[in-house]
Amino acid sequence: MDEADQYCDRVASMHRGRIHALGTPGEQRSELAGRRRAEGEADPKPTLEDVFRDVAGSGLDEQGGDFRDVRSTRRTASRVG
């Protein structure tokens, strides 16, 4: 996520094959920060990782395997080149 934040003009956050957040890294962070402030949370500077976790929700842990599938897919993609 750090590379996306540093080098990308636009970032799409997907979960289960659907785009849930699309925009510049700054727009996505600002949108999440605004929602968190509205909900009374105190974290004023979310990262893109926070945006992804917000998009994916807690379902990653509850459904068992979704997050690991993403990581193994990334590993496979890096091996293939």
Residues 5-35: tens digit of each pLDDT = 888 999 998 888 888 889 999 999 898 888 8
Range of the domain at 23: 2-80
Mean pLDDT within 47-72: 64
Instruction: Give the chain's domain count.
Output: 1
C-alpha to C-alpha distances, 22 to 31, 45, 61, 76, 78, nearest whole angstrom: 11, 18, 23, 25, 24
- Find, among 68, 31, 63, the residue nearest to 50 by Cα: 31
Instruction: Give the residue carrying structure tokens 């996306």.
Output: 4
The whole-chain average pLDDT of the chain stands at 76
- Give the pLDDT of residue 62: 45
Share of the chain above pLDDT 90, in %: 7
Asked if residue 66 has pLDDT above 70, the reply is no
How many distinct helices (H) and strands (E) make up the chain? 5, 2
Q: What is the DSSP letter of 46?
A: -
pLDDT on residue 77: 64
